[in-house]
Amino acid sequence: MWHELAVALFAVACGFTASGITANVYRLLADKPETVHGKTVYFAIMVVAGPSVLIANAAKTFRAKGCSGIAFWLAAAVAGYWSFAIGLFVLSVSLAI
């Protein structure tokens, strides 16, 4: 049981790390998308970068008293599950290599 829990937490950490790296690299390299191609690339990047962006926006809104604690923790739970899914993909690709 402890092994499975450790693997699950490691998958969440891997997913959130991949999300953060992707989000920050995109912010460094890209401008605001204005063309159809740019928006398509933006949405494709947000599939991976989404958890990092979601938790950053939720934390900023929560600190500004723009949302309730329940809304913040719901966003955190969604970001955690999303990170878990990305982490499982990253781990499966890394084990396949």
C-alpha distance from residue 52 to each of 38, 39, 63, 95 (Å) = 20, 19, 17, 24
Hey, what amino acid is at 58? A
Write down the mean pLDDT value for the chain.
93
Which range of residues forms the domain containing residue 83?
A: 2-96
pTM of the predicted structure, to 2 decimals? 0.85
pLDDT value at position 30? 85
CA distance linking residue 13 with residue 23, whole number of Å = 15
- Percent helix, strand, coil in the chain, to 5, is 85, 0, 15
Query: What are the pLDDT digits (tens) for 4-51?
Result: 999 999 999 999 999 999 999 999 998 888 889 989 989 999 999 999
How many domains in the chain?
A: 1
